[in-house]
Structure 1
């Protein structure tokens, strides 16, 4: 376990030093650099898992070693000594590591193994290298990718998975019903009548059922959206942009909310008025006055003031619910972009894993909001 701790420290130092050395402010790294960091990150993740398993087996008080009479238990003083001695910092251990580094196989020796693990991701890397992959924004840190190349390539894979998922009517209905339920529950918990927002939400769905998709595509292209997928439109453009805006509200809004001389009722009314004014101004600038963005604004007029008050207002209960909702969405994204949580092997397997994650997160949100 001490040797594993030492190796883990070296691997983390190597990843940090290598990443700092190769990026140097460059937005996208090369294919080889992306492969190396992805492989090293997987080694680190697996090492942490092994470390946890070892601790549970050898050190945890509820381990089978301390329960079974057929196994000689580890003396408590030995267990305590092992638990406290987590790192080796002697010069000899470092010299051993350096001398062994010359025996490490060349990265190219691992390419076949890596492709066997993530063939879908490898195809995305090839796509990125040959023709590039369009993207609207880079959210590398938010979704915990090792670098921008990994993020962009995984976006490509997730797009393919979403296209497959939403070719099935059952999937469309699941996400439509889940979205309606979550929005209604949020307003109910904020003591608001959900009737109008549900009507606006259903009108938006009705529009999408009968719309001219080339017009919608042109409309969203004007907002930087590169593909008409659930990830690009709902998760990235709508939800993540909304969370970014709520984390960085205008100073005028902050000044009103933080003014201790104003009543909470006045603050909430002022905040709602500010949100509506912004949406009305944006609506006047729309090229398609009855397009997708217009219908989205109809929903936002009811939902955005509640979210803004939840994140910035003094009501701790509403803030906790809104923060929980945000954390669940961000957690879903981080899971979708994780090599260890979903399978970047085939489009079908990735789609299956994403659907499983979305179902679990939806149930968790609904249970929490429904309490």
Structure 2
């Protein structure tokens, strides 16, 4: 008996923890803290449906309690309450009310669905074949990394998506191997990346919300794609329009990196012998999509994470180069190069940490 009472005492504690944990979440990675037009619209729809459901639950609960307490059988009272079976009035009420609630939810949902699917701006091209008044990003999902190509700017990045604030950014989504799903929780709902046909949609990042999140958001793969699915993350950097234009100009003008130090130069030689076949070190890589087999490393020295999962330190980079399978099972880098000696790992680390795009 005491054990049962002890268990019941845990329920209030669990209830309090539920409310406390429901308030957790980062501005950079939370669908409940919308950071743009698309996310806000979807959030409003979610709140509308939640309000409708809560109202229905409240009404049904009240009716249930009324019936339980008012019409329960009492000792010595065999009176049978008035029967309402076949009441046309009640049947009309409980038929019409759900229909009205569904209409209230359906109309804005259908409207928003068509509005968010409007990507006609991507089809408006100028004489040079570039998109006129819209920023387009080609997203290519791979096992287990992301590539972001800005076709009208001649820039390619990996793992780091850079976007301007307060304007629509249009995305072409494809996958190289298996189905993935592109999702930036704070900016909008997920969209699948397929191997056979591209999906298109747009997102918008609000400058004020971006400032609250320190101009940094995080994205994820939202489709189970293999053993390292949960580790397939990417970073979204939000910049003002002027800052974005400056960034794009620097990326487009970047040349082959020049590293300093004998150890880094030794690492460059090793890289050019064994790694350059898959990786590029300039953000204006002109190779076709099919030739880009691994993440672009042009800005590797400026990143916050290694392989999207490890803190960006020399020690972690050495661990990754020594055995990437330990940190990202099933990744395509494992087994594609021979075993590296400690000296080679140290040299490659020195080289990779100097890969940065600097303003000319």
Q: Report the TM-score, using the length of structure 1 for normalisation.
A: 0.26
- Whichever of the two has the greater Rg, that structure is 2
Greater share of residues in strand: 2
Relative CO higher for 1 or 2, CA cutoff 8 Å, sep ≥ 6?
1
